[in-house]
């Protein structure tokens, strides 16, 4: 990177990619912040509704994407696994006591890499990726610019570096400032749920001898600890990262297959980047006093890690959030709407702020074209009434989901057999919206409807019944007291009655014996059944990094070596049944047809290899 480029402010470098070279005086509409949900809103409004031709600008006071804790992101694997760490399922260790360190386990595996992949992402680079993707789709993302949202129709935009100001007009302001609630805080107080709240604190760590493809959770009566392995690009010059990401986006646009794309290490060398593996480790607890000292298991695990001092600059060693749970009572009004965490938040457990909160951005985006045309307040209220109702119900349902999980952490068998089993059952296979049955392929126009009906499964009738019943038994018991065996057995009995009825009615028909470590296909619990589970990841024999396995992915996306075929094949344990084979075959055929069509329409790159057509190779 030349000294001239190095002297240019990061905001100017990012803003140079915008379709417009200056802030426009009239916008249709702006979003006030480009954090995750503001960018999701902007991209969806442009991509899913091209006929509206919305002129969207996003304003961010900071000069570059900021650091936050790690989250999961579900997008196309061939390209994103070069940037992010893999997220292959979730592992929970629920402690039975402070002295002995015994625990129960729950493990949710998958889904299969050829259907869908999950990632653990460093938020600064994920938001940079979304920024560049938004700019490619006609969205202006202005870093180093602050929207002064005292009003919704006339908005001064201040340039943070030179203090200049441009006044812009828009029929709709979208507040994507999350918990800061930059505009919604002016018209509505937050609501706190009485009787339960949590705090969180986290940092970033180095570890030489701890390695896992699953995201690990250590749970105990007061709360839980997350341990997330992720790829950090901190310290790499911004122009280098932008060039690398745009290069990957070019590959994505060309639909390049995995084995034709440079690996992470190769990309780092090509673009002068410096990736490194780190861990995000954090506590989300009711009471955070001397937890590491009191829980021997946590203390033993933490002894393997070394805290990274100020990984993102001064003041970033530890992050702290107090009183996590809240709800915004008014989320839309004349000329404005709030998306993302601005509507409310519960807890980082299961990441509902992003996974469920995404529905607010895409729903608001779908309503935008009509919203900017409303003639009066009556029309506006009618248009946004379902949005308001969704936000109110979603936060309430997610709050109940959260206290259900926390209360079951008090008795490990309740967490392993009841709360976590139901949590992932209703989230993976919500009746009428089971994406696994259609290969995780959903038309863009149907995505909002799916997302509004998902909400982590917290509104599925069976889940509602079991969670309410369990809470009626557990909440009256003080946290300092262990629930009696009679209470525990009664909750399990009720859960089993609901499960047996649901499975008899075929409410959740999915491959549970491969996805859940301690359950069979009918969701019968077996504490010793842990040898039967599908295997979707293994360690690359060359570089030692965990890798997703697909029969048609021979190249290690981390180091670039061509792996032996036996390292690339999925282990189906137990074997697939006919219906599962059909879904896998349909997905494989659809991907290969898409690749073929894309390659026919584009010239072959000089450094590319011909794609091998291997039929069912990806699901071997």
- Distance, in Å, from the CA atom of 264 to the CA atom of 241, rounded to the nearest integer, reads 12
* Cα 94 to the center of its chain, rounded Å: 23
DSSP element (H, E) containing 421: helix 420-428
**In angstroms, rounded to a whole number, what is the distance separating the alpha carbons of residues 180 and 187?**
13
Angle, CA of 565, 571 and 573, to the nearest 5°: 165
Neighbours of 363 (CB within 10 A): 23
The three-state secondary structure class of 138 is coil
Q: Is 175 helix (H, G, I), strand (E, B) or coil?
A: strand
Q: What value does the CA radius of gyration of the chain take, rounded to a whole number of Å?
A: 24
Do β-strands 223-232 and 215-220 pair in parallel, antiparallel, or remain unpaired? antiparallel
- The torsion of the CA quartet 272, 275, 276, 279, rounded to 10 degrees, works out to 150
Residue 500 CA to residue 482 CA, distance in Å, equals: 28
Query: How many Å apart are CA 299 and CA 324, to the nearest integer?
Result: 25
State yes or no: cis peptide before 369, omega within 30 of 0. no
| Measured distance CA(64)–CA(57) in Å, rounded | 16
State how far the Cα of 614 lies from the Cα of 588, in Å rounded to an integer.
Answer: 10
Given the residues 61, 64, 87, 620, the one annotated as active site: 87
Query: Where does 148-189 show beta strands of DSSP type E?
Result: 154-159, 165-169, 173-175
Polymer length of the chain = 620
Q: Is 473 an active-site residue?
A: no
Question: Which positions are catalytic?
Answer: 87
């Amino acid at each position: 990177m030349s000294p001239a480029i190095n002297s240019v402010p990061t905001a100017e470098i990012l803003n140079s990619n915008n379709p417009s070279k200056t802030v426009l005086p009239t916008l249709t509409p702006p979003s006030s912040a480009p954090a995750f949900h503001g960018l999701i809103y902007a991209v969806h409004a442009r991509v899913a509704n091209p006929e509206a031709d919305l002129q969207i600008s996003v304003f961010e006071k900071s000069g570059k994407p900021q650091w936050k804790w790690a989250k999961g992101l579900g997008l196309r694997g061939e390209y994103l696994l070069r940037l992010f760490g893999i997220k292959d399922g979730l592992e929970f260790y629920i402690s039975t006591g402070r002295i002995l360190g015994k625990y129960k386990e729950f493990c949710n595996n998958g889904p299969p890499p050829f259907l869908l992949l999950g990632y653990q992402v460093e938020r600064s680079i994920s938001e940079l990726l979304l920024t560049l993707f938004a700019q490619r789709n006609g969205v202006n993302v202005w870093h180093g610019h602050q929207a002064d949202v005292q009003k919704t129709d006339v908005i001064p935009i201040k340039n943070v570096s030179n203090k200049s100001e441009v006044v812009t007009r828009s029929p709709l302001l979208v507040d994507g400032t999350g918990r800061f609630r930059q505009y919604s805080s002016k018209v509505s107080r937050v609501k706190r749920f009485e009787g339960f709240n949590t705090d969180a604190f986290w940092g970033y760590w180095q570890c030489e001898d701890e390695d896992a493809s699953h995201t690990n959770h250590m749970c105990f009566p007061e709360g839980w600890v997350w341990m997330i392995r992720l790829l950090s690009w901190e310290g790499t010059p911004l122009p280098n990262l932008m060039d690398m990401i745009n290069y990957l986006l070019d590959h994505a646009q060309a639909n390049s297959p995995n084995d034709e794309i440079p690996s992470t290490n190769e990309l780092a060398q090509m673009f002068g980047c410096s990736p490194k593996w780190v861990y995000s480790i954090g506590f989300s607890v009711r009471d955070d006093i001397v937890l590491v000292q009191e829980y021997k298991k946590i203390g033993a695990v933490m002894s393997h890690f070394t805290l990274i001092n100020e990984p993102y600059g001064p003041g970033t060693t530890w992050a702290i959030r107090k009183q996590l749970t809240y709800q915004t009572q008014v989320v839309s009004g004349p000329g404005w709407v709030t998306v993302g965490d601005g509507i409310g938040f519960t807890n980082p457990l299961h990441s509902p702020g992003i996974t469920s909160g995404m529905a607010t951005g895409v729903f608001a985006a779908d309503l935008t074209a009509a919203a900017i045309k409303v003639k009066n307040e009556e029309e506006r209220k009618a248009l946004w009434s379902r949005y308001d109702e969704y936000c109110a119900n979603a936060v309430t349902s997610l709050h109940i989901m959260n206290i259900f999980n926390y209360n079951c952490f008090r008795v490990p068998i309740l967490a392993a057999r009841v709360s976590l089993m139901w949590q992932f059952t209703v989230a993976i296979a919500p009746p009428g919206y089971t994406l696994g049955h259609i290969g995780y392929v959903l038309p863009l126009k149907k995505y909002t409807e799916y997302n509004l009906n998902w909400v982590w499964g917290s509104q599925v009738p069976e889940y509602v019944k079991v969670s309410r019943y369990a809470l009626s038994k557990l909440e009256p018991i003080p946290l300092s007291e262990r629930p009696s065996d009679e209470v525990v057995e009664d909750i399990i009995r009720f859960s089993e009655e609901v499960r047996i009825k649901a499975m008899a009615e075929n409410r959740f028909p999915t491959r549970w014996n491969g996805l859940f470590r301690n359950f069979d296909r009918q969701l019968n619990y077996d504490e010793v059944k842990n040898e039967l589970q599908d295997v979707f990841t293994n360690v690359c024999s060359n570089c030692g990094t965990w890798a997703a396995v697909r029969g048609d992915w021979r190249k290690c996306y981390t180091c670039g070596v061509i792996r032996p075929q036996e390292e690339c094949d999925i282990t189906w344990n137990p074997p697939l049944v006919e219906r599962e084979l059909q879904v896998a075959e349909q997905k494989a055929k659809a991907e290969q047809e898409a690749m073929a069509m894309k390659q026919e329409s584009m010239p072959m790159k000089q450094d590319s290899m011909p794609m091998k057509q291997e039929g069912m190779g990806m699901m071997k």
